[in-house]
Structure 1
Amino acid sequence: MAKSVAKKASNLFVWIILGLLFVALAGFGIGSFSGGGSRIGSVGDIEITAEDYARALDQEIRARIAQTRQPVTLSDLQAEGIDQAVLQSLVAQAALANEAARMGLSVGDEAVAREITRIEAFQGINGSFDREAYEQVLRQNGLTPAQFEEDMREDTARSLLQVAVLGGLQPDQAIAEALVAYQGETRDFSILTLTEADLPTGLPAPEEADLVAHYEANPGRFTRPEARRITYAWVTPAMLMDDMEIDEGALRDLYEARADLYRQPERRLLERLVFIDEAAAEAAFAAIAAGETDFDTLVAERGLSLEDVDLGEVARGDLSAEAAEAIFSDTESEIIGPVQSVLGPALFRVNAVLDASEVPFEEAEEELRAELAAEAARRVIDDLRDPVDDLLAEGATLEELAADTEMRLGAIELTPASEDGIAGYDAFREAARLAEEGDFPELLELSDGGLFALRLDEVVPPTLPPLDDVREAVAESWRAGVLREQLAARGETLVGQLATGATLESLGSVSAEAEVRRQDFIPDAPPTLVAQVFRLSQPGDVVLVPGADRALIARLDAINPAARDDPTTQILTQIIGQSVAQSMAQDIFEGYGQAMQAEVGIRLDQSMINAVHTQFP
């Protein structure tokens, strides 16, 4: 079973067990292959046609496009081995169909019709089967009703075979229970943390010989990554904004257009509880006034939640005239009513009073000016695009662009860690990655509406700088290594003291962790801590867990079995039981399928497979 868990999703019979036996409707734009007579192979007496293979590939491509929202080609599928997975799926289907035919499994017209009428794509507006829609969808996919119905007949027969093989499979409950007991177990443990402050003598200062030895032993740590020296010319709206002249009238027009943002009327945070009639509302109000109940209780008695009665921020104009007058003229009461609302007699609860506010034009002016300046700068950049394109086409250099246009010249030694300035733009980093020495600069767009063009001047290979250039980094790395070693040594000394009778609490400040699961993570602790604790077998056992800047001594205090009556454990039992059953089914069905294929043989025509591939762009 463990073998199956690690298999890739493209595994031959994972496709089958997941229900991918049915031929999907796809194949838009795929040409036919001699009317479907050409075949790419066969399993036993069942042929796999070139048209089937082309349709399956096209379906996979379209599914990828829908998922990624990016163009996908056959080459992309081949790079990931997906074309082989598609072919294996067709082989699996053919093997099942051959076995079903050999066993005499078949289904009648009534069963085929029943399956077809259940397909949503063939249903009309009223939800019933629509013959016209059925034929239209098939035409769009290059199929005739006879072809599709025969495919459905074979698919249904294959599914009967699958049920026959796996229908009686019952997973061993003991396996699921054992896995739940393992996964649901928790542990309590105590931790003594050792840091640099706990070292008796502290850390020594490195000698020159120490630095030289560390530098020579670890060149990879100090080697600078490959860098691409790039010259670029660019312009962004932010560069031009300060030079944009903004008309005062345009600022005031924008301010008035944003009046709802800058001028807020007086508002209330309200909740409203509506009653069937005035008498019921008055009785409720009287009960609240007498202290016999409260607003929350009335809401709950009606089977409502506070979210159901919450109105949020409400201005005077949002209410009926009567309710607005009652609520906005009363600045003291929490409960107001009964008043007539648009839904009937109601009590209102006022949770907060929000005074009217106004941001004057003078305060909003800077924000408005920046917005209009950015828009104006983007228009200038749009007007710049064609002239710059023309200059580049005429052979202008980036230096000439910067001299003759609003674009500015820059240079960068780009590495994967670069993120400042123009390196912060994804479009620039991607263009820089693809650039080759000698390429002509191309005008490209930045995400904020800016433009840039670049030139790759040199690719600097990974370089180990001299020790003096990285002395500080070498010293820090040496210090980190020595700290880790000394903390581990100190921890081993203390573990030895525990073995001779000392208690963890007598060695320093101890923290406690309770009911920790195997998958839990303890903040600020080495990532292996929990796994190390779960390797301990008896309460009282200890383990030393070294870390980068601290070492931990953990003592196991208790082993807590999974609580079988806990709802979480019950859910986990169901999930693991299903997983065990699926894994067992996968193993059994894989073995069955391999036996079928070995018995009847598989024949594939690589030249025809290649011919199908040529039909794809």
Structure 2
Amino acid sequence: MAKHKAKSTGTFVIMALLILGLAGFGVTNFGGAAGSVATVGQAEVGINDYARAIFSRMQGLERQTGQSVTFQDVRNFGLDSAVLAQLINSAAVENEAATLGISAGDETVGDRIRSQSEFHDASGEFDRQVYEFTLERAGLNASDFEADVRKDVAEELLRNAVLAGTQAPDILVDTLFNHERETRDVTWARLTAENLDAPIPNPAEDELASYHRENPDPFTRPETKTIRYALLTPDDLAQQIDVDDEQLRALYDSRIGEFVQPERRLVERLVFTTDTQAAAARTRIDSNEISFDALVAERGLDLSDVDLGDVAEESLGEAAAEIFALEAPGVVGPLPSELGPALYRMNGILASQETTFEDAREALRQEAALDRARRQILELVPDVEDLLAGGADMAMLAERTDMKEGRIEWNEDVFDGIAAYAAFRAAGAQARTDTFPEVVELEDGGIFAMTVDEIHEPELRPLSDVREEVTAALIRTRTEEALMVQAEELADQLRAGREMAALDLELVSDRDLPRNGFVDGTAPGFIEALFDMRRDEIRVLPFDGEALLMRLDTITKPDLGSPDTVAERDAFATWIGTGLSGGILNAYTQALVEQAEVEVDQAALNAVHAQLR
């Protein structure tokens, strides 16, 4: 039996681009040793198919990360194995379709090919010459491509047959839907230090020392690096740049629209199909039968749909004169517009504004100087890189360039000075004492380089340095403990029948809380606890030196009598069904792989990998 070569036709343009892209890697012809990297029964995973899939995955990673991705990166992530597994799965389905004798007729294959826009002419119709030319450019011939399409269709037929009739059982959908869409009503109260009979006394010295020793994390300085850096920002360099008035005047003139704005109007426009309709609507407004707002709503529109914003006279065409003649807000029309006859409402007059060159001079000078500074900094980068390559330290960079040397004790909690830049923090987190300094660009167009002189391991700060923080933390802990005892006593009273409203507490009621909801001012586990409670159950939660007392009032299930809820339930059923279908297809495909004879040609894989490196 002749072997079938597994390959998805997919979108033809993408396939052609991948072939062209692989040419840049030297991956256009992997020569004569083997035609496949794996076989699954009678189906093959072709060398070129595997190479294209790897290259496609590399391109995907580059789009996601915005960085260049090498084949070694793909291997480090284990994506080469994932690509091979995916192709083997596809080949297993292809092999099974061939075994079962599933095939697609010529008419189906022709319809599939004719539907692909890559083979259409300028009128949108299939063009045989375009088809053959496109295949030729991709290095393919029509018979091979059509055979691939035929196999793709056969695989689809098999997959569709496996999934035919797949539907999530109603009991499963309803159970999950009710679980996800149930809501809760809760009444709760916060107990704070003010609810204690007496404030917590200041701890003794030995108590502070014990708490400091037993709870080191909040008082431990994180890993800290002594960093020496050289920095140049556009603000620093701009101070040295002179911009003459001629340049500033040219900049001002090129942006005159920003500095000289004509009188404008705040305008809304309601368009009608005919002049008669527009005139009738104006009559209704003039007779106070209806307001402009109500007329907009009557048309099924929102005010945002008719709002033109602030517009200049020249933007309103033939309607401009009458609108700009209004001296107070009002309605005019019918007047012409590019969409048809319309009523216009003028809501406000914005006076003309002019910023003179003299008034704009300083802002323009600063802007122009900063722009020139950024360009000069960019031109300086190669020189700085050469200095670093020659062994220059930060002091030498400051001596040989306009960069300024600095030093900082940096850790993840430091955001002052140069540490305010995200790029510096990212570089600082990665840098070690043996890291070679590199030029790094900053968000504002500046640059810096850094070296790490010393790394200080995490260290518990002395009690004398953090006495206030330790005292506050211990008092907060003891306050919370006392409030939890008090809250539990109140909870027992409520369980015994006392009304929550009778408590001397400020009660808060929240209604229709969803499972993924959030209640401001509550503990992180508040919603989770709420959905774990029975109706009328009372619970107490600790929260950052306070205590929360809560009662679950009502559990509300979704109203399946509501059309909106029914629509949500149907969409939920579709989502569940899609998940089941995917699971069934994955299980079926895996079973095909396990029962088929799968052989992987490691030598062929190595050949592809060698060319992709």
Instruction: Report deviation, 1:397.
Output: 3.5
Q: What pairs up with 1:32-181 in 2 under 5 angstroms?
A: 32-34=29-31, 37-139=34-136, 141-181=138-178
Q: What pairs up with 1:17-36 in 2 under 5 angstroms?
A: 25=15, 26-27=18-19, 28-29=21-22, 30-34=27-31
Q: Distance in 2 between matches of 1:376 and 1:583?
A: 56
Q: Which runs of 5+ in 2 are unaligned?
A: 1-6
Give the equivalent residue in structure 2 for 1:8: none
Q: Contact 2:271–2:343 at 8 Å: present in 1 too?
A: yes
Asked whether 1:547 is paired with 2:543, we answer: yes
Alpha-carbon spacing, 1:583–1:482, altered in 2? closer, same or farther (3 Å): same
Deviations, residues 322-381 of structure 1 (Å, cap 9, x unaligned): x55544444247234567778887654321122233334444333223223323434554
The number of residues matched between the two structures is 596
Deviations, residues 266-297 of structure 1 (Å, cap 9, x unaligned): 22223456789989877766664444555456
Q: What pairs up with 1:403-422 in 2 under 5 angstroms?
A: 403-422=399-418
SS in 2 for 1:612: helix
Q: What pairs up with 1:313-352 in 2 under 5 angstroms?
A: 313-319=310-316, 324-332=320-328, 334-336=330-332, 348-352=344-348
Aligned with residue 263 of structure 1, among 260, 263, 286: 260
Q: Contact 2:208–2:471 at 8 Å: present in 1 too?
A: yes
Q: What pairs up with 1:336-375 in 2 under 5 angstroms?
A: 336=332, 348-375=344-371
Q: Contact 2:202–2:471 at 8 Å: present in 1 too?
A: no
Q: Distance in 1 between matches of 2:568 and 2:344?
A: 46
The two structures have a TM-score, normalised by structure 2, of 0.86
Q: Contact 1:190–1:555 at 8 Å: present in 2 too?
A: yes
Amino acid across the alignment from 2:578: Q
Give the equivalent residue in structure 1 for 2:607: 611
Q: Contact 1:180–1:572 at 8 Å: present in 2 too?
A: no
Alpha-carbon spacing, 1:288–1:431, altered in 2? closer, same or farther (3 Å): closer
Q: Distance in 1 between matches of 2:449 and 2:355?
A: 42
Give the equivalent residue in structure 2 for 1:312: 309
SS in 1 for 2:310: strand
SS in 2 for 1:191: strand
SS in 2 for 1:189: strand
Give the equivalent residue in structure 2 for 1:580: 576
Q: Distance in 2 between matches of 1:162 and 1:277?
A: 55
SS in 2 for 1:34: coil
Instruction: Report deviation, 1:184.
Output: 2.1
Instruction: Report deviation, 1:530.
Output: 1.9
Q: Contact 1:234–1:407 at 8 Å: present in 2 too?
A: yes
Q: Distance in 2 between matches of 1:119 and 1:178?
A: 43
Give the equivalent residue in structure 2 for 1:9: none
Instruction: Report deviation, 1:601.
Output: 3.2
Q: Distance in 2 between matches of 1:579 and 1:397?
A: 59
Give the equivalent residue in structure 2 for 1:7: none
Q: What pairs up with 1:463-474 in 2 under 5 angstroms?
A: 463-474=459-470
Q: Distance in 1 between matches of 2:300 and 2:511?
A: 39
Q: Which runs of 5+ in 1 are unaligned?
A: 1-19
Alpha-carbon spacing, 1:427–1:571, altered in 2? closer, same or farther (3 Å): same
SS in 2 for 1:470: helix
Instruction: Report deviation, 1:103.
Output: 1.8
Q: Distance in 2 between matches of 1:189 and 1:344?
A: 54
Q: What pairs up with 1:275-290 in 2 under 5 angstroms?
A: 288-290=285-287
Alpha-carbon spacing, 1:107–1:203, altered in 2? closer, same or farther (3 Å): same
Q: Contact 1:23–1:151 at 8 Å: present in 2 too?
A: no
Asked whether 1:479 is paired with 2:475, we answer: yes
Q: Distance in 2 between matches of 1:226 and 1:436?
A: 12
Aligned with residue 564 of structure 1, among 545, 550, 560: 560
Amino acid across the alignment from 1:419: F
Deviations, residues 168-225 of structure 1 (Å, cap 9, x unaligned): 3333112111222222222222112212222223323222222222222233333322
Q: Distance in 2 between matches of 1:176 and 1:438?
A: 58
Give the equivalent residue in structure 2 for 1:16: none
Q: Distance in 2 between matches of 1:112 and 1:492?
A: 73
Q: CA RMSD in A?
A: 3.4
Instruction: Report deviation, 1:392.
Output: 4.7
Q: Distance in 1 between matches of 2:143 and 2:32?
A: 14
Deviates more, 1:306-315 or 1:223-232: 306-315
Q: Contact 1:228–1:414 at 8 Å: present in 2 too?
A: yes
Q: Distance in 1 between matches of 2:479 and 2:272?
A: 72
Deviations, residues 104-154 of structure 1 (Å, cap 9, x unaligned): 222233322222222233333222233344345445555433333222222
Aligned with residue 453 of structure 1, among 439, 449, 455: 449
Give the equivalent residue in structure 1 for 2:528: 531
Q: Contact 1:192–1:504 at 8 Å: present in 2 too?
A: no
Q: Distance in 2 between matches of 1:528 and 1:281?
A: 58
Deviations, residues 240-268 of structure 1 (Å, cap 9, x unaligned): 33444343454445444443323333222
Deviates more, 1:29-38 or 1:551-560: 29-38
SS in 2 for 1:496: helix
Give the equivalent residue in structure 2 for 1:225: 222
Q: Distance in 1 between matches of 2:279 and 2:35?
A: 84
Q: Distance in 2 between matches of 1:577 and 1:596?
A: 28
The two structures have a TM-score, normalised by structure 1, of 0.85
Q: Contact 1:21–1:159 at 8 Å: present in 2 too?
A: no
Deviations, residues 8-60 of structure 1 (Å, cap 9, x unaligned): xxxxxxxxxxxx97666244312333358433222223232323222221222
Q: Contact 1:41–1:49 at 8 Å: present in 2 too?
A: yes
Q: Distance in 2 between matches of 1:309 and 1:543?
A: 52
Q: Distance in 2 between matches of 1:292 and 1:433?
A: 69
Q: Contact 1:36–1:51 at 8 Å: present in 2 too?
A: no
Amino acid across the alignment from 2:76: A
Instruction: Report deviation, 1:514.
Output: 1.4
Q: Contact 2:477–2:545 at 8 Å: present in 1 too?
A: no
Q: Percent identity over the alignment?
A: 38
Give the equivalent residue in structure 2 for 1:206: 203
Deviations, residues 485-530 of structure 1 (Å, cap 9, x unaligned): 3332222222222233322222222211112222211111112222
Amino acid across the alignment from 1:158: E
Amino acid across the alignment from 1:470: V
Aligned with residue 491 of structure 1, among 487, 490, 498: 487
Q: Distance in 2 between matches of 1:167 and 1:54?
A: 34
Deviates more, 1:372-381 or 1:294-303: 294-303
Q: Contact 1:296–1:306 at 8 Å: present in 2 too?
A: yes
Q: Distance in 1 between matches of 2:282 and 2:586?
A: 72
Alpha-carbon spacing, 1:146–1:280, altered in 2? closer, same or farther (3 Å): closer
SS in 1 for 2:147: helix
